[in-house]
Chain A
Amino acid sequence: RKEVEQDPGPFNVPEGATVAFNCTYSNSASQSFFWYRQDCRKEPKLLMSVYSSGNEDGRFTAQLNRASQYISLLIRDSKLSDSATYLCVEYAGTYKYIFGTGTRLKVLA
């Protein structure tokens, strides 16, 4: 079983829609999780960290469900500029980062 699993998509949504992605992880001891955004052929960039209590930044909300071992990313009022691949990242400690393969989002006009 892959350590971090994501639905590759693509998720095609109209502008203004709300979209949610989930990501499952297998190491119950991992403490930190992140969502990175990656535009086509460019480097990944941190979108937000995922805290146990949830984390909201404008239109973006990230949540962690430890019981079911998944994290989620919710994007409200989607913009064309949100089109990208979203990478789920598990931090397993001592600089060990485990990347999901990414979920591709296309926001359509």
Chain B
Amino acid sequence: EAQVTQNPRYLITVTGKKLTVTCSQNMNHEYMSWYRQDPGLGLRQIYYSMNVEVTDKGDVPEGYKVSRKEKRNFPLILESPSPNQTSLYFCASTSEGLNTGELFFGEGSRLTVL
């Protein structure tokens, strides 16, 4: 089954404790992206990657890191989480070859930083 898988789905952590949210897709998509969604603000892009070893900042990259060592994986790293990073996070992927422009989303990771 074609899918984007995120882990963990739910996490409560404390300020300053490094964490990683993993994202994996099995559709051989070259493009992957991370978004955060907050009430009243909609989906905001954190980082994106157009292919292996190619990453770039989105609209709200502060406090986050990413890496793209393999095509299928695009982890999101919070080196020192702060309460303002409490949010719902989505990973998404797509391919230019699809022609539909459809973004495929993971199920989301709800993060709470105390």
Contacts and interface: CB of A to CB of B under 8 A. Distances in A.
Contacts of A32: 101
Identify whether the interface residues of B are mostly helix, strand, loop, or mixed.
strand
Contacts, number: 48
Contacts of A95: 31, 33, 48, 50, 94, 96
Contact of B43 (A41, A46, A99): A99
The winner among A32, A43, A45, A102 for most chain B CB atoms within 10 A is: A43
A34 B101 contact: yes
Which secondary structure dominates where chain A touches chain B? Answer: strand
How many residues of B sit at the interface, in one of the four size bands? 20 to 34
Interface of B: 31, 33, 35, 40-45, 48, 50, 88, 90, 94, 96, 100-103, 105-108, 110
Interface of A: 8, 32, 34, 36, 41-46, 49, 87, 89, 91, 95, 97, 99-102
